[in-house]
Chains A and B, each alone.
Chain A
Amino acid sequence: QKEVEQDPGPLSVPEGAIVSLNCTYSNSAFQYFMWYRQYSRKGPELLMYTYSSGNKEDGRFTAQVDKSSKYISLFIRDSQPSDSATYLCAMSDPIKDSSYKLIFGSGTRLLVRP
């Protein structure tokens, strides 16, 4: 079983819809939770960075963390065709001596139809 599970999609929604993307994880040592967006032939772009359980909002994006359920979500309001990309959740895993590595989900492909 993978440490981070993410539905690969694809998820197809009409423009203007609210999109919900989710990840579950098994390792309670994970400390920080991130969402990255990756366009084709580009590197992952950091969208959201959160630590504690609860919600964090940035424009049309809301990240939600539930540590007790080991579940994180990303909501996109008023989705646009330009939001079409692969969304990767990532979690920081402590290694040693204050170093961390990121553990990524497999990514969910999102398509927003005009």
Chain B
Amino acid sequence: DSGVTQTPKHLITATGQRVTLRCSPRSGDLSVYWYQQSLDQGLQFLIQYYNGEERAKGNILERFSAQQFPDLHSELNLSSLELGDSALYFCASSLGQGNQPQHFGDGTRLSIL
């Protein structure tokens, strides 16, 4: 158990809809990272938050947004969903914002019908 909690484990929805994925980092970790894992693209970095502030962006679509709350949990919002958004979404956390080990949750499997 990595200590990173993600909910829900599985989400099924339709095209055009909006969903929110939730992540609770390990106790004491201030950084949260979101990744997308698909069969054709592998694990891709989306966005990083550190202590409530956005720190870095990767290949995140404009339809996607995230935030980190004062209690350090984070939410990833996906809107105007398309079939191609079907993937596993992982959250990882680390102690600081620098070069430190990232620990992953078990992900949310998003299925778009």
- Residues of A whose CB lies within 8 Å of any CB of B are 31-32, 34, 36, 41-46, 49, 88, 90, 92, 94-107
Contacts and interface: CB of A to CB of B under 8 A. Distances in A.
Given A43-B2, A43-B105, A49-B101, A102 B56 contact: no
B36 to A, nearest CB: 11
A3 B98 CA distance: 21
A95 B56 contact: yes
Contact of B42 (A43, A96, A101, A107): A107
B102 A46 contact: yes
Given A44-B104, A45-B104, A99 B55 contact: yes
A88 B106 contact: no
B51 interface: no
A106 B42 contact: yes
A65 B73 CA distance: 34
A46 B48 contact: no
B47 to A, nearest CB: 9
User: What is the interface of chain B mostly: helix, strand, loop, or mixed?
Assistant: strand
Interface residues of B, number: 26
A36 to B, nearest CB: 8
B107 A32 contact: no
Contacts of B92: 102
5 contacts: A32-B99, A43-B6, A44-B43, A96-B56, A98-B97
Given A42-B106, A43-B105, A46-B103, A99 B97 contact: yes
Contacts of B42: 104-107
Nearest to B43: A104
Nearest to A101: B45
A14 to B, nearest CB: 28
Nearest to A93: B45
The 10 closest A-B pairs by CB, nearest first: A43-B104, A104-B43, A101-B45, A99-B56, A95-B56, A43-B106, A99-B55, A44-B104, A106-B42, A98-B98
